[in-house]
Amino acid sequence: MIKTIIRKEFLATLRDGRLLTLGVALLVLFAGFFLASAYELQQLRAEKHSVGTTAKEQWNTQSVKNPHAAAHYGIYVFKQDTPVAALDPGLRPYIGQALWLEPHKRNLTRFSPAADQVLAGRFGQATTSFVLTALLPLLIVALTFNSISQERESGTLRMLHSLGVDAGQLLFGKLLGLMTAFSVVLAPALLLAAVILLGNFAFTLDDVLRLLALLVLLNLYYGIFAALAISASASFNTSRTTLFCLLGFWLASVFIAPRLGVVGAEILAPNPSASEFWREIKEDIDHGLEHDGDHEERAKAFEAQVLAQYGVSRKEDLPVGFVSLNRQYNDAYSVKVHALHFDALRDNFVRQQHLSHLGSWLGPSLALRSLSMTLAGMDLAHQRHFEDAAEEYRHYFINLTEDWDRERSRGTERKATGAEADWRSVADFSYQAPDIGFALRTAKLDFLVLLLWLGLSIGLLRISARRLVP
Amino acid sequence: MNTAIPVLAAQNLVVEYRQHRAVDNLNLQIPQGCVYALLGGNGAGKSTTISTFLTFNRPSSGQVLIEGESPHTNAELVRAKLAYLPENVALYDVMSGLENLTYFCTLANIRLSSDQAHDLLLDSGLQADAHQKRVAAYSKGMRQKVGLAIASAKQAKAMLLDEPTSGLDPSAANDFAQRIRAAADRGMAVLMATHDLFNAKQVADRIGIMKNGRLLEEFDAHTVQHDELEQKYLAHARGLA
Ligand SMILES: Nc1ncnc2c1ncn2[C@@H]1O[C@H](COP(=O)(O)OP(=O)(O)O)[C@@H](O)[C@H]1O
Ligand SMILES: [Mg+2]
């Protein structure tokens, strides 16, 4: 029986002029946004690649100079986005695109904590992802808000009841039939997207998996809206009431929930201000972490230790460059303090992201949006993964220059130099983005929230079926 | 089949909407082959009575019976034994008459071959060239015919008609009346709600005048004179009798 209902709903929906009109409008809209997004991504990728290469080439061609001076020349690195980011640029608008790697200091790309914003909850502007996560649910609502009330008003519901049709099968049949019709209408747009993506970007298996996972999740998300719309249509007396309620829900889910989540997260887990953040780092370096002694004490202890190690009584008699040695020691300490504070800040971003789900009781959009961002590799977790890799690379090339500085100098003199061959021997930054497993682990909570909503919407559909008045 | 048990029966039936009593202590018996016309003005409680047989409503007290069993305790009865034809037969506009028939029948667990479906529509008086057209383009009479085809496909024991001829032109109404008569002659029990005295007299075997939820008077349609019936109906309508 349910198959018959699905088939009929599918055909009826397709024949209904509304869907076709909406479908065509959607295709045009989606094509426009998507082409723009894909183009933007392509430009960005090309630009990042070219600037990255140029930056390294400039590094390579430095003149003969002190290795530490060369290190101060610095290197720019970039996070290369996956092609999936064409569907969802995620936090890109709010995150700095370049990370500047230099000695002594770890830089932030994206967050100026001063901005005091929870970036985790931010929604992009009118992008492809806006169409996918905000407009399409609206289309679903437009298609389903009167799916039952119309049958009640026209009398077919009574007809069906008199034929002994099971209300549960009717409602679930409608849900599946509508979703099938919807997929068919959406298919050309997705096909177009696939063609554009495959034509312009090199895809890895991981990218494909991420894309497919996103597609599945989007369908669950649309299913939630459809199930809720059908329930509402079955429960409310008039199509008008149903439409108003559903529009309210859509607004709440898409626009209010994220903002509410952001506000809640800001209150419950505030970020330090930028000045506070950097001041604390400086204080910890100057005064030392617990039991470490302040800067001067540490410097004295280190000098004593080095003299003992080399069996000399004066810095001037050391067989290696003390300036570099000392700098390396100080840098290591600074790295330790930076890591502590950076991790604390970023842990707080994660906490905020979790807390932002306080807004999720208003609707599933927050969770979906977050999942989509993560699968596109454009979320905080992926950014952090990249930053950690960049930080490791920073240690690698700074330490290399310090090695040259130390080995090519003696005592307190500063005579070490390096040449192009040295600069060139610094390996390029080659970043391997994490795989889909990383993304799925990151998005566990979002996924759970989405599943809860799915369960809730199916539960409501069952209840409305049981209480359906013909 | 035990003919002693009426196909449709109402026993002390009371149906209320919140405080309002729409059907008040109604007793009815409709045996096989009998067309019973519930005659009454707007708000008399005719539709509510029919709805209760179809389990769209629940009785507040008393009961309705289909071959001696209550559909409110055995929901399967409605599907198995009743056919329903409202004033406006509800069909899906974007589908053809043929598709509507097939869809409704499939949902009622009746498998129809394409030939059978066409035959049912033809037997119900729907011209062959209309079968594949979308119902949106159908007249009211054509919809009624699709409704009749569904009812015949069900091979129901009883048919419930709510103002079936209102809005039909006289010849269509006449044609429809004859089809109902024919169905009854094949053994179907028919309960028909109508405010049209002429229509009641034309098809029915028994006529009950209903007002304010009560059955006021019953007549044998074959023996009562038209004038007498008309006078009583009008008198009741004006609240004189
Ligand atoms: N769904 C309903 N809710 C409340 N009152 C109703 C409803 N349906 C009918 N009524 C009331 O019950 C009475 C009988 O209505 P109905 O059975 O439709 O009469 P008829 O079909 O004879 O015109 C009327 O007074 C009507 O206003
Ligand atoms: Mg009525």
Please give chain A's pLDDT, 470 residues, in tens. Answer: 889 999 998 988 888 877 778 788 888 888 888 888 888 888 888 888 898 899 899 999 999 999 999 999 999 898 888 999 988 888 877 777 788 899 998 888 744 333 434 443 344 445 788 889 998 999 899 889 999 998 998 899 999 999 888 899 999 999 999 999 888 888 888 888 888 888 889 889 999 999 999 999 999 999 999 999 999 999 998 889 999 999 999 999 999 999 999 899 999 999 999 899 999 999 999 998 888 888 889 989 999 999 999 999 898 889 888 988 899 999 999 999 999 999 999 999 999 999 999 999 999 999 999 999 999 999 999 999 999 999 999 999 999 999 999 889 888 888 889 999 999 999 999 999 999 999 999 999 999 999 999 999 999 999 999 999 88
Q: Does residue A256 sit at the B interface (CB-CB below 8 Å)?
A: no
Token reading at B54: 């179809």
CB contact under 8 A, A470 and B75: no
* Tally of CB atoms within 10 A around A81: 22
Residue A36's contacts (CB-CB under 8 Å, 6 or more residues apart) are none
pLDDT at residue A124, rounded to an integer: 41
Residue B11's contacts (CB-CB under 8 Å, 6 or more residues apart) are B27, B62, B63, B64, B65
Chain A residues with CB under 8 Å of B95 CB are 8, 11-12, 15
Integer CA distances (angstroms), A174 to A241, A453, B158, in order: 20, 19, 30
pLDDT at residue A119, rounded to an integer: 41
C-alpha B216/C-alpha A138 separation (Å) is 54
pLDDT at residue A44, rounded to an integer: 85
CB contact under 8 A, A156 and B92: yes
Query: Does residue A284 contact residue A341 with C-beta atoms inside 8 Å?
Result: yes
Chain A residues with CB under 8 Å of B92 CB are 8, 12, 156
pLDDT at residue A323, rounded to an integer: 87
C-alpha A176/C-alpha A45 separation (Å) is 40
Minimum CA–CA partner of B91 in chain A: A156
Q: Residues of B187-222 as b/e, b for ≥16 C-beta within 10 angstroms?
A: ebbbbbbbbbbebbbbbbbbbbbbbbbbbbbebebe
* Surface-to-core class of residue B9, CB atoms within 10 Å of its CB (0-12 exposed, 13-18 middle, 19+ buried): buried
pLDDT at residue B240, rounded to an integer: 60
Looking up tokens 């005719």, which residue turns up?
B46
Query: Does residue A96 contact residue A108 with C-beta atoms inside 8 Å?
Result: yes
Any idea which architecture B8-87+158-238 has in CATH? Answer: 3-Layer(aba) Sandwich (3.40)
Query: Does residue A15 contact residue B94 with C-beta atoms inside 8 Å?
Result: yes
| Displacement of CA A278 from its chain's centroid (Å) | 25
* Tally of CB atoms within 10 A around A9: 21
Chain A residues with CB under 8 Å of B53 CB are none
pLDDT at residue B3, rounded to an integer: 55
Pocket test for ligand 1, best of B15, B18, B20, B56 (most atoms within 8 A of CB): B20
Token reading at A277: 């953040």
- Please give the helix or strand (H or E) that residue A32 lies within, else none: helix A17-60
User: How distant is the Cα of A176 from the closest Cα of chain B, in angstroms?
Assistant: 16
State the pTM of this model: 0.88
Q: Residues of A95-112 as b/e, b for ≥16 C-beta within 10 angstroms?
A: beeebbbebeebbbbbbe
Residues having CB closer than 6 A to ligand 1 are B 17, 20, 22, 40, 42-48, 193
**Amino acid sitting at position B61:** S
pLDDT at residue A73, rounded to an integer: 93
- B 136-195 → A contacts, CB under 8 A: 154
pLDDT at residue A193, rounded to an integer: 86
pLDDT at residue A411, rounded to an integer: 83
Residues of chain B with pLDDT under 50: 1
- The radius of gyration computed from the CA coordinates of chain A, to the nearest angstrom, equals 29
Is residue B139 left, alpha or beta, with left meaning phi > 0 and alpha meaning psi from -120 to 50?
A: beta
Looking up tokens 């950076």, which residue turns up?
A342
* Residue nearest atom 25 in ligand 1 by C-alpha distance: B43
Chain A residues with CB under 8 Å of B86 CB are 155, 158-159
Domain-wise residue ranges, chain B:
8-87+158-238
C-alpha B230/C-alpha B241 separation (Å) is 13
Pick from B79, B86, B94: which is nearest to A16 by CB?
B94
